[in-house]
Protein backbone atom coordinates (compact mmCIF):
# COMPACT_ATOMS: atom_id res chain seq x y z
CA UNK A 1 0.00 0.00 0.00
CA UNK A 2 1.28 3.48 -0.88
CA UNK A 3 2.35 5.75 1.95
CA UNK A 4 -0.53 7.96 3.13
CA UNK A 5 1.64 11.07 3.39
CA UNK A 6 3.29 12.45 0.27
CA UNK A 7 5.91 15.19 0.16
CA UNK A 8 3.28 17.76 1.16
CA UNK A 9 0.72 16.05 3.39
CA UNK A 10 -2.18 13.78 2.49
CA UNK A 11 -3.69 14.53 -0.89
CA UNK A 12 -6.30 13.10 -3.26
CA UNK A 13 -9.62 13.67 -5.01
CA UNK A 14 -12.00 15.02 -2.37
CA UNK A 15 -14.78 12.70 -1.16
CA UNK A 16 -13.26 9.82 -3.16
CA UNK A 17 -9.68 9.41 -1.99
CA UNK A 18 -9.65 12.11 0.68
CA UNK A 19 -12.87 11.22 2.50
CA UNK A 20 -14.62 12.69 5.52
CA UNK A 21 -13.74 9.57 7.51
CA UNK A 22 -10.05 10.03 6.73
CA UNK A 23 -10.25 13.75 7.53
CA UNK A 24 -11.95 12.95 10.86
CA UNK A 25 -9.18 10.52 11.83
CA UNK A 26 -6.51 13.00 10.74
CA UNK A 27 -8.21 15.52 13.01
CA UNK A 28 -8.03 13.07 15.90
CA UNK A 29 -4.35 12.56 15.12
CA UNK A 30 -3.77 16.33 15.16
CA UNK A 31 -5.39 16.61 18.57
CA UNK A 32 -3.50 13.67 20.05
CA UNK A 33 -0.08 13.96 18.39
CA UNK A 34 0.27 17.75 18.29
CA UNK A 35 -1.72 18.93 21.31
CA UNK A 36 -4.84 20.68 22.46
CA UNK A 37 -5.01 23.88 20.39
CA UNK A 38 -4.87 23.53 16.61
CA UNK A 39 -5.04 26.33 14.02
CA UNK A 40 -7.12 25.20 11.03
CA UNK A 41 -7.11 27.04 7.71
CA UNK A 42 -8.19 26.22 4.16
CA UNK A 43 -8.04 27.44 0.59
CA UNK A 44 -11.05 28.21 -1.61
CA UNK A 45 -11.94 24.70 -2.88
CA UNK A 46 -15.58 23.63 -2.80
CA UNK A 47 -14.67 20.60 -0.67
CA UNK A 48 -12.94 22.77 1.92
CA UNK A 49 -16.05 23.29 4.07
CA UNK A 50 -16.81 19.57 4.13
CA UNK A 51 -13.28 18.51 5.03
CA UNK A 52 -12.92 21.34 7.55
CA UNK A 53 -16.06 20.12 9.32
CA UNK A 54 -14.84 16.52 9.43
CA UNK A 55 -11.30 17.45 10.48
CA UNK A 56 -12.53 19.84 13.17
CA UNK A 57 -14.93 17.20 14.49
CA UNK A 58 -12.00 14.83 14.80
CA UNK A 59 -9.95 17.37 16.76
CA UNK A 60 -12.87 18.11 19.09
CA UNK A 61 -13.69 14.41 19.55
CA UNK A 62 -10.41 13.97 21.43
CA UNK A 63 -10.89 17.15 23.46
CA UNK A 64 -8.95 19.58 21.27
CA UNK A 65 -9.73 23.22 20.51
CA UNK A 66 -10.01 24.32 16.89
CA UNK A 67 -8.69 27.82 16.19
CA UNK A 68 -10.56 28.38 12.95
CA UNK A 69 -8.76 30.76 10.59
CA UNK A 70 -11.07 30.30 7.57
CA UNK A 71 -9.83 30.90 4.03
CA UNK A 72 -6.18 31.85 4.37
CA UNK A 73 -2.80 31.07 2.72
CA UNK A 74 -0.84 28.06 3.95
CA UNK A 75 2.12 30.15 5.22
CA UNK A 76 -0.31 32.20 7.30
CA UNK A 77 -1.32 29.06 9.21
CA UNK A 78 2.35 28.36 9.95
CA UNK A 79 2.71 31.94 11.21
CA UNK A 80 -0.50 31.87 13.26
CA UNK A 81 0.53 28.64 14.94
CA UNK A 82 3.47 30.50 16.44
CA UNK A 83 1.73 33.83 16.99
CA UNK A 84 -1.20 32.25 18.85
CA UNK A 85 1.03 29.84 20.82
CA UNK A 86 -0.97 26.92 19.42
CA UNK A 87 0.20 23.32 19.60
CA UNK A 88 0.01 22.83 15.85
CA UNK A 89 -1.61 23.87 12.61
CA UNK A 90 -3.51 22.10 9.84
CA UNK A 91 -4.14 23.36 6.30
CA UNK A 92 -6.85 21.96 4.05
CA UNK A 93 -5.47 22.55 0.58
CA UNK A 94 -4.11 20.77 -2.49
CA UNK A 95 -1.85 23.71 -3.31
CA UNK A 96 -1.42 23.99 -7.12
CA UNK A 97 -3.55 20.90 -7.96
CA UNK A 98 -6.92 21.11 -9.81
CA UNK A 99 -10.11 22.01 -7.88
CA UNK A 100 -11.42 18.45 -7.49
CA UNK A 101 -8.38 17.60 -5.36
CA UNK A 102 -7.81 18.57 -1.77
CA UNK A 103 -5.22 17.86 0.87
CA UNK A 104 -4.46 18.00 4.57
CA UNK A 105 -1.04 19.04 5.85
CA UNK A 106 0.27 19.55 9.35
CA UNK A 107 2.56 22.03 11.08
CA UNK A 108 4.12 21.59 14.52
CA UNK A 109 4.08 24.27 17.22
CA UNK A 110 6.97 26.11 15.54
CA UNK A 111 5.23 26.14 12.16
CA UNK A 112 7.40 23.45 10.59
CA UNK A 113 6.14 20.47 8.61
CA UNK A 114 6.22 17.21 10.51
CA UNK A 115 9.18 14.83 10.14
CA UNK A 116 8.66 11.50 8.37
CA UNK A 117 8.82 9.64 11.66
CA UNK A 118 5.81 11.49 13.11
CA UNK A 119 3.87 11.13 9.85
CA UNK A 120 4.55 7.37 10.03
CA UNK A 121 3.15 7.28 13.57
CA UNK A 122 0.03 9.14 12.43
CA UNK A 123 -0.39 6.76 9.51
CA UNK A 124 -0.18 3.76 11.83
CA UNK A 125 -2.75 5.43 14.12
CA UNK A 126 -5.18 5.89 11.22
CA UNK A 127 -4.72 2.35 9.91
CA UNK A 128 -5.52 1.10 13.42
CA UNK A 129 -8.90 2.87 13.23
CA UNK A 130 -8.17 6.16 14.94
CA UNK A 131 -8.72 6.96 18.60
CA UNK A 132 -9.77 3.91 20.62
CA UNK A 133 -10.86 5.97 23.63
CA UNK A 134 -12.47 9.41 23.53
CA UNK A 135 -13.78 11.72 26.28
CA UNK A 136 -17.47 11.90 27.11
CA UNK A 137 -19.65 14.89 26.28
CA UNK A 138 -18.17 17.12 28.95
CA UNK A 139 -14.65 16.53 27.63
CA UNK A 140 -15.29 17.41 23.99
CA UNK A 141 -13.50 20.32 22.38
CA UNK A 142 -14.78 23.56 20.85
CA UNK A 143 -14.25 25.88 17.87
CA UNK A 144 -12.91 29.40 18.38
CA UNK A 145 -12.91 31.72 15.35
CA UNK A 146 -9.69 33.68 14.79
CA UNK A 147 -11.36 36.78 13.42
CA UNK A 148 -8.16 38.70 12.64
CA UNK A 149 -6.28 35.75 11.11
CA UNK A 150 -5.65 37.36 7.71
CA UNK A 151 -4.85 40.70 9.31
CA UNK A 152 -2.06 39.17 11.43
CA UNK A 153 -0.50 37.67 8.31
CA UNK A 154 -0.85 40.81 6.19
CA UNK A 155 0.77 42.99 8.84
CA UNK A 156 3.60 40.48 9.29
CA UNK A 157 4.48 40.90 5.61
CA UNK A 158 4.04 44.67 5.66
CA UNK A 159 6.21 45.17 8.73
CA UNK A 160 8.96 42.99 7.30
CA UNK A 161 9.43 45.67 4.62
CA UNK A 162 8.84 48.74 6.77
CA UNK A 163 11.47 47.57 9.27
CA UNK A 164 13.95 47.73 6.40
CA UNK A 165 13.04 51.39 5.88
CA UNK A 166 11.37 50.61 2.55
CA UNK A 167 8.01 50.76 0.86
CA UNK A 168 6.67 50.00 -2.62
CA UNK A 169 5.45 53.46 -3.56
CA UNK A 170 5.78 54.08 -7.28
CA UNK A 171 5.62 50.37 -8.14
CA UNK A 172 2.69 49.12 -10.21
CA UNK A 173 2.00 45.44 -9.52
CA UNK A 174 -0.11 43.17 -11.71
CA UNK A 175 -1.40 40.37 -9.48
CA UNK A 176 -3.05 37.03 -10.32
CA UNK A 177 -4.54 35.51 -7.17
CA UNK A 178 -5.42 32.27 -8.98
CA UNK A 179 -8.94 32.19 -7.48
CA UNK A 180 -7.17 31.02 -4.34
CA UNK A 181 -6.39 31.96 -0.76
CA UNK A 182 -4.10 34.86 -1.69
CA UNK A 183 -7.25 36.76 -2.70
CA UNK A 184 -7.65 37.44 1.02
CA UNK A 185 -4.18 38.87 1.63
CA UNK A 186 -1.68 39.76 -1.11
CA UNK A 187 -3.32 42.74 -2.80
CA UNK A 188 -4.03 44.37 0.57
CA UNK A 189 -0.43 43.89 1.73
CA UNK A 190 1.02 45.43 -1.43
CA UNK A 191 -1.41 48.36 -1.24
CA UNK A 192 -0.46 49.08 2.38
CA UNK A 193 3.15 49.25 1.26
CA UNK A 194 2.22 51.95 -1.24
CA UNK A 195 2.07 49.96 -4.46
CA UNK A 196 -0.53 50.42 -7.16
CA UNK A 197 -2.15 47.00 -7.61
CA UNK A 198 -4.15 45.71 -10.57
CA UNK A 199 -5.55 42.32 -9.64
CA UNK A 200 -7.33 39.49 -11.45
CA UNK A 201 -8.83 36.19 -10.30
CA UNK A 202 -9.38 37.44 -6.76
CA UNK A 203 -12.92 36.05 -6.76
CA UNK A 204 -13.71 32.35 -6.27
CA UNK A 205 -16.59 29.88 -6.37
CA UNK A 206 -14.74 26.75 -5.22
CA UNK A 207 -14.45 25.24 -8.70
CA UNK A 208 -12.04 27.67 -10.37
CA UNK A 209 -8.93 27.56 -8.15
CA UNK A 210 -5.78 27.13 -10.30
CA UNK A 211 -7.85 26.67 -13.47
CA UNK A 212 -5.86 28.26 -16.32
CA UNK A 213 -4.53 30.93 -13.96
CA UNK A 214 -2.10 31.54 -11.14
CA UNK A 215 1.54 30.49 -10.84
CA UNK A 216 1.19 27.40 -13.06
CA UNK A 217 -0.60 29.22 -15.92
CA UNK A 218 0.98 32.60 -16.50
CA UNK A 219 -0.86 33.58 -19.70
CA UNK A 220 -3.56 35.65 -17.90
CA UNK A 221 -0.86 37.53 -15.98
CA UNK A 222 1.04 38.23 -19.19
CA UNK A 223 -2.12 39.61 -20.81
CA UNK A 224 -2.89 41.72 -17.74
CA UNK A 225 0.58 43.26 -17.78
CA UNK A 226 0.22 44.19 -21.44
CA UNK A 227 -3.11 45.87 -20.67
CA UNK A 228 -2.14 47.80 -17.54
CA UNK A 229 1.57 48.47 -18.09
CA UNK A 230 2.65 47.20 -14.67
CA UNK A 231 6.27 47.23 -13.49
CA UNK A 232 6.13 43.62 -12.27
CA UNK A 233 3.74 40.70 -12.40
CA UNK A 234 3.04 38.38 -9.46
CA UNK A 235 1.10 35.09 -9.56
CA UNK A 236 0.27 32.71 -6.72
CA UNK A 237 -0.88 29.12 -6.62
CA UNK A 238 -4.04 28.09 -4.78
CA UNK A 239 -2.68 28.22 -1.24
CA UNK A 240 -0.08 30.94 -1.93
CA UNK A 241 2.91 29.07 -0.59
CA UNK A 242 4.70 29.77 -3.87
CA UNK A 243 4.98 32.65 -6.30
CA UNK A 244 6.07 33.28 -9.88
CA UNK A 245 6.91 36.75 -11.15
CA UNK A 246 7.14 38.44 -14.54
CA UNK A 247 8.91 41.39 -16.16
CA UNK A 248 7.00 44.09 -18.09
CA UNK A 249 8.09 42.44 -21.35
CA UNK A 250 6.53 39.14 -20.26
CA UNK A 251 9.70 37.30 -19.25
CA UNK A 252 9.04 34.70 -16.58
CA UNK A 253 10.90 35.15 -13.27
CA UNK A 254 11.02 31.68 -11.73
CA UNK A 255 12.17 30.55 -8.30
CA UNK A 256 15.82 30.22 -9.34
CA UNK A 257 15.98 33.85 -10.45
CA UNK A 258 14.11 35.11 -7.38
CA UNK A 259 16.47 33.19 -5.10
CA UNK A 260 19.52 34.53 -6.95
CA UNK A 261 18.38 38.14 -6.55
CA UNK A 262 17.50 37.67 -2.87
CA UNK A 263 20.66 35.72 -1.99
CA UNK A 264 22.91 38.36 -3.57
CA UNK A 265 21.03 41.08 -1.69
CA UNK A 266 21.44 39.16 1.58
CA UNK A 267 25.17 38.74 0.96
CA UNK A 268 25.58 42.45 0.32
CA UNK A 269 23.77 43.18 3.59
CA UNK A 270 25.90 40.63 5.45
CA UNK A 271 22.88 38.53 6.42
CA UNK A 272 23.52 35.33 4.47
CA UNK A 273 24.39 32.65 7.06
CA UNK A 274 27.12 30.29 5.95
CA UNK A 275 27.45 32.32 2.75
CA UNK A 276 25.15 29.64 1.32
CA UNK A 277 21.92 29.31 -0.64
CA UNK A 278 20.03 26.00 -0.76
CA UNK A 279 18.29 24.63 -3.85
CA UNK A 280 17.49 21.24 -5.39
CA UNK A 281 19.20 19.13 -8.03
CA UNK A 282 16.64 20.50 -10.52
CA UNK A 283 17.73 24.12 -10.22
CA UNK A 284 19.02 25.75 -13.38
CA UNK A 285 22.78 25.62 -13.92
CA UNK A 286 22.64 29.37 -14.45
CA UNK A 287 21.72 29.74 -10.76
CA UNK A 288 24.76 27.74 -9.65
CA UNK A 289 27.04 29.80 -11.93
CA UNK A 290 25.56 33.10 -10.73
CA UNK A 291 26.09 32.15 -7.11
CA UNK A 292 29.61 30.89 -7.82
CA UNK A 293 30.50 34.14 -9.58
CA UNK A 294 29.24 36.08 -6.56
CA UNK A 295 31.23 33.94 -4.13
CA UNK A 296 28.12 32.21 -2.71
CA UNK A 297 28.06 28.46 -2.07
CA UNK A 298 25.12 26.36 -3.26
CA UNK A 299 23.89 23.20 -1.53
CA UNK A 300 21.58 21.07 -3.69
CA UNK A 301 19.09 18.62 -2.18
CA UNK A 302 16.58 16.12 -3.48
CA UNK A 303 13.51 17.59 -5.17
CA UNK A 304 10.92 18.79 -2.65
CA UNK A 305 10.70 21.79 -0.33
CA UNK A 306 10.79 19.53 2.75
CA UNK A 307 14.34 18.44 1.79
CA UNK A 308 15.37 22.04 1.20
CA UNK A 309 14.04 22.96 4.62
CA UNK A 310 15.72 19.99 6.32
CA UNK A 311 19.10 21.11 4.97
CA UNK A 312 18.47 24.72 5.99
CA UNK A 313 17.55 23.79 9.55
CA UNK A 314 20.37 21.29 9.93
CA UNK A 315 23.05 23.73 8.76
CA UNK A 316 21.63 27.07 9.89
CA UNK A 317 21.02 28.51 6.42
CA UNK A 318 18.42 31.25 5.84
CA UNK A 319 17.40 30.97 2.19
CA UNK A 320 16.38 28.02 0.04
CA UNK A 321 14.00 27.37 -2.79
CA UNK A 322 12.85 25.55 -5.87
CA UNK A 323 12.49 26.57 -9.49
CA UNK A 324 8.69 26.26 -9.11
CA UNK A 325 8.62 29.40 -6.98
CA UNK A 326 8.51 27.69 -3.59
CA UNK A 327 11.00 29.68 -1.52
CA UNK A 328 11.76 29.52 2.20
CA UNK A 329 13.12 32.55 4.02
CA UNK A 330 13.66 31.41 7.59
CA UNK A 331 14.20 34.95 8.84
CA UNK A 332 10.50 35.55 8.13
CA UNK A 333 8.58 32.26 8.11
CA UNK A 334 9.02 28.54 8.66
CA UNK A 335 7.65 27.37 5.31
CA UNK A 336 7.31 28.47 1.69
CA UNK A 337 5.58 31.86 1.62
CA UNK A 338 4.56 33.39 -1.70
CA UNK A 339 3.66 36.83 -0.35
CA UNK A 340 6.81 37.14 1.75
CA UNK A 341 8.96 35.95 -1.14
CA UNK A 342 7.47 38.59 -3.46
CA UNK A 343 7.95 41.27 -0.80
CA UNK A 344 11.60 40.43 -0.20
CA UNK A 345 12.31 40.19 -3.92
CA UNK A 346 10.82 43.65 -4.51
CA UNK A 347 12.78 44.99 -1.52
CA UNK A 348 16.01 43.63 -3.03
CA UNK A 349 15.15 45.19 -6.39
CA UNK A 350 14.38 48.53 -4.75
CA UNK A 351 17.66 48.48 -2.83
CA UNK A 352 19.56 47.76 -6.06
CA UNK A 353 18.27 50.99 -7.60
CA UNK A 354 17.40 49.07 -10.78
CA UNK A 355 14.13 48.14 -12.42
CA UNK A 356 13.00 44.53 -12.36
CA UNK A 357 14.32 43.66 -15.83
CA UNK A 358 17.80 44.91 -14.99
CA UNK A 359 17.85 43.44 -11.49
CA UNK A 360 17.29 39.88 -12.72
CA UNK A 361 20.29 40.06 -15.07
CA UNK A 362 22.40 38.78 -12.17
CA UNK A 363 21.46 35.31 -13.45
CA UNK A 364 21.49 33.96 -16.98
CA UNK A 365 19.13 31.01 -17.34
CA UNK A 366 20.72 28.12 -19.23
CA UNK A 367 18.52 26.47 -21.89
CA UNK A 368 17.06 23.25 -20.51
CA UNK A 369 15.56 20.21 -22.23
CA UNK A 370 13.49 17.76 -20.19
CA UNK A 371 12.32 14.48 -21.73
CA UNK A 372 10.06 12.05 -19.87
CA UNK A 373 10.84 8.53 -21.09
CA UNK A 374 7.64 6.60 -20.36
CA UNK A 375 6.80 2.93 -20.04
CA UNK A 376 10.23 1.85 -18.82
CA UNK A 377 11.53 -0.12 -15.85
CA UNK A 378 12.75 2.86 -13.83
CA UNK A 379 14.15 0.57 -11.12
CA UNK A 380 16.71 -0.80 -13.59
CA UNK A 381 18.22 2.64 -14.18
CA UNK A 382 20.74 2.42 -11.36
CA UNK A 383 23.74 0.36 -12.33
CA UNK A 384 23.05 0.28 -16.08
CA UNK A 385 26.51 0.63 -17.65
CA UNK A 386 25.29 1.56 -21.14
CA UNK A 387 23.17 4.45 -19.85
CA UNK A 388 25.99 5.57 -17.56
CA UNK A 389 28.34 5.65 -20.55
CA UNK A 390 25.88 7.75 -22.57
CA UNK A 391 25.61 10.23 -19.69
CA UNK A 392 29.40 10.36 -19.29
CA UNK A 393 29.83 11.06 -22.99
CA UNK A 394 27.37 13.97 -22.85
CA UNK A 395 28.97 15.37 -19.69
CA UNK A 396 32.40 15.23 -21.30
CA UNK A 397 31.11 17.12 -24.34
CA UNK A 398 29.37 19.77 -22.23
CA UNK A 399 32.15 20.29 -19.70
CA UNK A 400 31.51 23.11 -17.23
CA UNK A 401 28.99 24.72 -19.58
CA UNK A 402 26.25 22.14 -19.08
CA UNK A 403 25.00 19.22 -17.02
CA UNK A 404 22.96 16.04 -17.21
CA UNK A 405 20.46 14.74 -14.68
CA UNK A 406 18.60 11.43 -14.83
CA UNK A 407 15.86 10.90 -12.28
CA UNK A 408 13.24 8.15 -11.94
CA UNK A 409 9.72 9.43 -11.24
CA UNK A 410 8.46 8.80 -7.75
CA UNK A 411 4.95 7.86 -8.93
CA UNK A 412 5.09 6.69 -12.57
CA UNK A 413 7.08 4.24 -14.75
CA UNK A 414 9.03 7.20 -16.08
CA UNK A 415 12.69 8.22 -16.24
CA UNK A 416 13.24 11.96 -16.55
CA UNK A 417 16.18 13.04 -18.70
CA UNK A 418 17.22 16.64 -18.16
CA UNK A 419 20.09 18.36 -19.96
CA UNK A 420 21.21 21.99 -19.65
CA UNK A 421 23.69 23.72 -21.91
CA UNK A 422 24.74 27.19 -22.95
CA UNK A 423 23.09 26.57 -26.33
CA UNK A 424 19.54 25.21 -26.64
CA UNK A 425 20.48 22.99 -29.57
CA UNK A 426 23.18 21.27 -27.50
CA UNK A 427 20.75 20.60 -24.66
CA UNK A 428 18.22 19.15 -27.08
CA UNK A 429 20.80 17.00 -28.93
CA UNK A 430 22.25 15.39 -25.81
CA UNK A 431 18.86 14.91 -24.13
CA UNK A 432 17.47 13.13 -27.20
CA UNK A 433 20.54 10.90 -27.45
CA UNK A 434 20.38 9.86 -23.80
CA UNK A 435 16.60 9.36 -23.91
CA UNK A 436 17.01 7.00 -26.85
CA UNK A 437 19.53 4.92 -24.92
CA UNK A 438 17.21 4.83 -21.90
CA UNK A 439 14.37 3.55 -24.11
CA UNK A 440 16.56 0.83 -25.61
CA UNK A 441 18.00 -0.29 -22.29
CA UNK A 442 14.97 -0.09 -19.98
The catalytic site residues sit at: 95
Helix (H) or strand (E) holding 10: strand 10-13
Write out the DSSP string of 291-348.
Answer: HHHTT-EEEEE-SSHHHHHHHHHHHT--EEE-TTS-EEETTT-SS--HHHHHHHHHHH
Identify the DSSP state of 269.
T
Task: Give every CB contact of residue 78 below 8 A, 6+ residues apart in sequence.
Answer: 89, 107, 111, 112, 333, 334, 335, 337
Q: Could you tell me which residues are beta bridge partners of residue 172?
A: 196
Cα–Cα distance measured from residue 74 to residue 338, given in angstroms and rounded to the nearest whole number: 9
- Pairing of the two strands 232-236 and 243-246: antiparallel
> Which of 130, 151, 156, 146 minimizes the C-alpha distance to 61?
130
What distance separates the 2 farthest-apart alpha carbons in the chain? 73
Amino acid sequence: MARLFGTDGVRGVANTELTCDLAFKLGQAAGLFLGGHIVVGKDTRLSGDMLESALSAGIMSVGGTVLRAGIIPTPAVALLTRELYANGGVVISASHNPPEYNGIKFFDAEGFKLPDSVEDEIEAFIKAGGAQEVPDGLGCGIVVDVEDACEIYIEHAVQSIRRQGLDFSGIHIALDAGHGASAMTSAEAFKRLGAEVTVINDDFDGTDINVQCGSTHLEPLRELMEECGADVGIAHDGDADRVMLMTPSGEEIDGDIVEAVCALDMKQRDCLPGNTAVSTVMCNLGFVHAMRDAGIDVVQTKVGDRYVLEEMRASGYAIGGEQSGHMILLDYNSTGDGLMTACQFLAAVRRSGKNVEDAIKVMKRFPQTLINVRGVDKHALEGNAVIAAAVAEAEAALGDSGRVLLRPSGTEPVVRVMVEAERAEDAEKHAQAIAEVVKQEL
